Amino acid sequence: MSSEQLPSGDFFDVAAQLPPHEQQKLQEVRDFLAAEVEPHATGWWDAAEFPAHLLPKLAELNLSTPVQQGYSSLFAGLVIAEMTRVDTSLATFFMVHHDLFVESLHLFGSTDQKERLLADAMALRITGAFALTEPNHGSDVAGGMETTARRDGDAWVLNGSKRWIGNGTFCDYMLMWAQDADTKEIRAFVLDTRLPGVQRSKIEHKIALRTVQNADISLQNVRVAEADRFSGINKFADTNVLLRGSRLMVAWQAVGQQLAAFDVARAYTLDRLQFGRPLASFQLVQQQLVQMLGNAVASMGMMAQLARIQDTPAPDGGPGQLRMEQVALAKAFTTARMRETVAMGRSLLGGNGIVTDYKMAKIFSDAEAIYTYEGSAEINTLIVGRAITGISAIV
């Protein structure tokens, strides 16, 4: 029996909880990914090239910030999981642009900024990035940000450096974070990357997310108009709504990565013959496949519950609100299970598991990036630890 005729990795039918119109839209996403992405994703990854030609077709899906368009949080998460299932790099591009840059325009943009940028950004006629991490500051960037912004009349002068900026080599705009040189408060700007003094260089030699164009950014006396500052952001805590949302989507990526590993491992072990029998007929192979499936289903179940919390109105009638520690636990748990799952998948493919021809090597490598970005496992664990003990172990 072929793997296509067997139960899917969504073993508990989480996607079936979606209303019919969302199920139909999710199938549209799957069809697009199968036709336009899956046949080419490994080649893009091997060449470390981003498929810019795909953006108009991706835009036709009309899925920019789906919750802002009235879709459920579960649907939004499953879209990221499905994208990751086919290509983690494309899902990462989508998250950086839509869930960080476009979402920031929705939440913090002025009327003028929205009129100038939002429609084009949602339609991918322009692309964006989120520039927070610095060469010397990752998890501690809240208290250690070195990029500065100094007010000069009706403009701000920015100086500093950023690192690991996804989409950074080609994006039209960046949501740039800096510390006010006078007040020490955190500021955020819509930075036009064509401005004088902005320098970008591609980060080379990556072993994960090779299709994603991460960049080092240098700012040397870059003048940004006051009209391009997000007036609603004055402290680092104002970033929490964005970081909480993007961290949640990374946890959904961990689900998609496990589904990808399970799909590839099961298909391989059904086709591969050893000792005259399919690998899938051996007890230890079945045990590992079941463990991989269990990890994926447990992770998906956790994420589905968080989606329910998001979509349950608060007592005051407002939108449901996740706590950062809930999202931190999800990110830490799902990525730990993911690491275990992709390691078993790579092992099941034997030597073929270390070449991208069989897909698993790409899945295995990309998992390392998911495990680390949007808060390392250690930092997320300590966020949860602080919540459940009342004691902070973060120095």
Q: Rounded CA gap, 177 and 229, in Å?
A: 10
pLDDT tens for each residue of 78-133: 999 999 999 999 999 999 999 999 999 999 999 999 999 999 999 999 999 999 99
Ranges of CATH 1.20.140.10 domains, the chain: 238-389
The CATH fold assigned to 3-122 is Butyryl-Coa Dehydrogenase, subunit A; domain 1 (1.10.540)
pLDDT confidence tier of residue 237, bands split at 50, 70 and 90: confident
Mean pLDDT estimate for the chain? 95
pLDDT tens for each residue of 211-221: 999 999 999 99
What's the pLDDT score for residue 144? 83
Q: What pTM, to 2 d.p., does this model score?
A: 0.95
Query: Measuring CA to CA, how many Å separate 235 from each of 18, 186, 188, 317, 365?
Result: 37, 5, 9, 27, 35
What's the pLDDT score for residue 143? 77
Give bridge partners of residue 229 from the DSSP assignment: 189
pLDDT tens for each residue of 251-280: 999 999 999 999 999 999 999 999 999 999
* Strand residues in the chain grouped as ranges (E): 128-131, 148-152, 155-165, 173-180, 186-192, 198-202, 215-225, 273-274, 277-278
What is the DSSP secondary structure assignment for residue 87, as one 8-state letter?
-
For residue 137, pLDDT over 80 is answered with yes
For residue 340, pLDDT over 70 is answered with yes
Summarize the chain as % helix, strand, coil (round to 5).
55, 15, 30
Are 340 and 334 in contact, with CB atoms under 8 Å apart? no
Place of tokens 């120095």: 395
For residue 243, pLDDT over 90 is answered with no
Which two structure tokens, joined as six digits, stand for 384? 């949860």
Mean pLDDT confidence for 196-209? 98
Which two structure tokens, joined as six digits, stand for 117? 């940028």
Ranges of CATH 2.40.110.10 domains, the chain: 128-237
For residue 3, pLDDT over 80 is answered with no
What are the backbone dihedrals phi and psi of residue 316, each rounded to the nearest 5 degrees, phi first? -85, 5
What's the pLDDT score for residue 319? 66
pLDDT tens for each residue of 57-88: 999 999 999 999 999 999 999 999 999 999 99
- Express as a percent the part of the chain with pLDDT over 90: 88
What's the pLDDT score for residue 318? 63
What's the pLDDT score for residue 140? 84
Alpha helices in 136-282 (DSSP H): 141-144, 240-271
Neighbouring residues of 373: CB distance < 8 A, sequence distance ≥ 6: 164, 250
Least confident of 27-41, 233-247, 360-374: 233-247
For residue 5, pLDDT over 90 is answered with no
Q: Which amino acid is at 175?
A: L
For residue 281, pLDDT over 90 is answered with yes
Neighbouring residues of 49: CB distance < 8 A, sequence distance ≥ 6: 211
Which two structure tokens, joined as six digits, stand for 105? 């325009």
What's the pLDDT score for residue 177? 94
Domain 238-389 listed as CATH 1.20.140.10: yes
What's the pLDDT score for residue 317? 64
- Exposure pattern of 125-144 as b/e (b: 16+ CB <10 Å)? ebbbbbbbbbeebbeebeee
Ranges of CATH 1.10.540.10 domains, the chain: 3-122
What is the CATH code for 128-237?
2.40.110.10
Biggest CA–CA distance in the chain, Å, is: 78
